[in-house]
Amino acid sequence: MTERTILGILIPLCQSFSQLEVTAPASQTAILFQSFILPCTFHMDTPSVNKQYLSIIWYFGGKELLKTDNKEKVIRKGLSFDEQEAIKARPLLSILSKSIQRNKENALTCMAIGFFPPDIRITWYRDGEVLKNQSMGKLNKYKDRTYQVKSSMTITPSDDDQNKTFTCTIQHVSLPEAIQEDFEVVYEETSSTEPIVVGVVLLVLIATVIGIFSWKQTYRRAATFTLMEIDGLSKLVAGEETFLYCRATNCPENTSVTWLEKRRGQVCEIPEYHGGDNEEEERLMDTQYGVISCRDGPNFTSSLKFKPNVTNHKDVTFICRYSCGKWRQEKTFHCRAICGEQFL
């Protein structure tokens, strides 16, 4: 009997080329007249893959069995193609707030960012035990067709919870195993509301034009945001997907965030998306950054996704800059060492 081979090919249809890895089993056992699945997995060194720039073709014995791209889909009789399984994007995990008040109902929020397909499971734990009072928010869709969703967990903590470990876990079809973030809650000191009440009464009594103007100016100055240090791994490993998180609280609606890289004294802005600008894509082809920002009320979180490379990232400083009108704050993350360079 002549041995024939079924071959699957994936072709990126964009102008700038990225590293493409395709894996498939060397052989597959099938039973005559029964259906079976042929898996073919691919990975690109870009943050996400846009379906309009992808072509998938399967061959058998030199003949084309299946072809799908942004223009057409051709499938021979007896075959099927699972488009939902064809493209996946891994979620980023972000805890928006770790501060709570004692003996008061609090909500902890966990964000899953930039994932596809939309089915996802988020679970909260306290010292390994599943917590009740969990709720999932509404799915939000990004321009690149990936999704973002938040999960909130409501607790009324006591002093016994101060040394407990809280965990947010995300399960998704794109992940070989669940991802999670462990943390201990930070207790905020509560203050009496009496000074606030007294202040309001005094303002009403002396409500003159000068007093109102002065109060407005003070309010504007107090409405500035608080920026936290960039959260990232202390040890970077070459070729492994890495995330940097930068969070700010008390953000006005017109707050914006920008990521930059400082390399040999030169500072360049990192765009949030690569599509459409060939010159910009060519400049950043070796780094392949992905930036995703999301807001939850007054909290604003931005993440930078990239694969460390000794040549491109050693001694590079990343800058996360939050701006609101003339007010600006920024934090830095310096790549001092990158371990385990991989040669492909």
Encode pLDDT of 292-301 as tens digits.
888 888 888 9
- Contact by Cβ (8 Å): 259, 302: yes
If you average pLDDT over residues 169-188, what whole number do you get? 89
Residue 281 has pLDDT above 50, yes or no: no
Predicted local distance difference test score (pLDDT) of residue 17: 45
Predicted local distance difference test score (pLDDT) of residue 156: 83
What are the tokens at 123? 């679970």
Q: What percent of the chain has pLDDT over 90?
A: 20
Of 255, 269, 260, the C-alpha closest to 320 is 260
Predicted local distance difference test score (pLDDT) of residue 229: 92
Backbone φ, ψ for residue 96 (5° rounding): -80, -35
Note the pLDDT tens digit of each residue in 207-227. Answer: 655 555 554 554 454 447 889
What is the identity of the amino acid at 316?
V
- Contact by Cβ (8 Å): 108, 95: yes
Class of domain 223-344: mainly beta
- In terms of pLDDT, which residue wins out, 303 or 14? 303
Question: Residue 150 pairs with which residues in a beta bridge?
Answer: 111
Predicted local distance difference test score (pLDDT) of residue 339: 86
Predicted confidence band at 130 (pLDDT cuts at 50, 70, 90)? very high
Backbone Cα Rg of the chain: 25
Place of tokens 């997907």: 241
Ranges of each domain in the chain = 6-86, 88-190, 223-344
Predicted confidence band at 168 (pLDDT cuts at 50, 70, 90)? very high
Choice among 61-65, 88-92, 263-267 with the minimum mean pLDDT: 61-65
Q: How far apart are CA 292 and CA 147, in angstroms?
A: 11
- In terms of pLDDT, which residue wins out, 32 or 269? 269
Residue 196 has pLDDT above 90, yes or no: no
Predicted confidence band at 144 (pLDDT cuts at 50, 70, 90)? confident
Q: How far, in Å, are 35, 40, 49, 54, 72 from residue 81 at the CA level?
A: 13, 11, 18, 15, 13
Backbone φ, ψ for residue 217 (5° rounding): -65, -40
Q: Within 13 Å and on the Cβ side, how many CA atoms surround 257? A: 26
What is the identity of the amino acid at 249?
T
What is the identity of the amino acid at 119?
D
If you average pLDDT over residues 222-237, what whole number do you get? 80
- In terms of pLDDT, which residue wins out, 335 or 67? 335
Predicted local distance difference test score (pLDDT) of residue 3: 42
> From 2.160.10.10, 2.60.40.10, 3.40.190.10, 3.30.1330.90, which CATH number describes the 88-190 domain?
2.60.40.10
If you average pLDDT over residues 175-181, what whole number do you get? 92
Predicted local distance difference test score (pLDDT) of residue 189: 66
Residue 314 has pLDDT above 70, yes or no: yes
Note the pLDDT tens digit of each residue in 20-39. Answer: 677 777 776 766 656 666 77
Q: How far, in Å, are 75, 108, 190, 212 from residue 193 at the CA level?
A: 69, 24, 9, 22
Residue 330 has pLDDT above 90, yes or no: yes
Predicted local distance difference test score (pLDDT) of residue 213: 57
Residue 175 has pLDDT above 60, yes or no: yes
**What's the whole-number average pLDDT of the chain?**
76
- pTM as predicted: 0.46
Predicted confidence band at 244 (pLDDT cuts at 50, 70, 90)? very high
Predicted local distance difference test score (pLDDT) of residue 269: 92
What is the identity of the amino acid at 304?
L
**Interstrand relation of 129-130 and 121-126 (parallel, antiparallel or unpaired):** antiparallel
Identical fold at 88-190 and 223-344?
Answer: yes
Residue 231 has pLDDT above 70, yes or no: yes
Note the pLDDT tens digit of each residue in 75-114. Answer: 777 777 666 566 788 898 988 877 788 778 888 899 999 8
Predicted confidence band at 1 (pLDDT cuts at 50, 70, 90)? very low
**Interstrand relation of 338-339 and 236-237 (parallel, antiparallel or unpaired):** parallel
Q: How far apart are CA 287 and CA 196, in angstroms?
A: 51
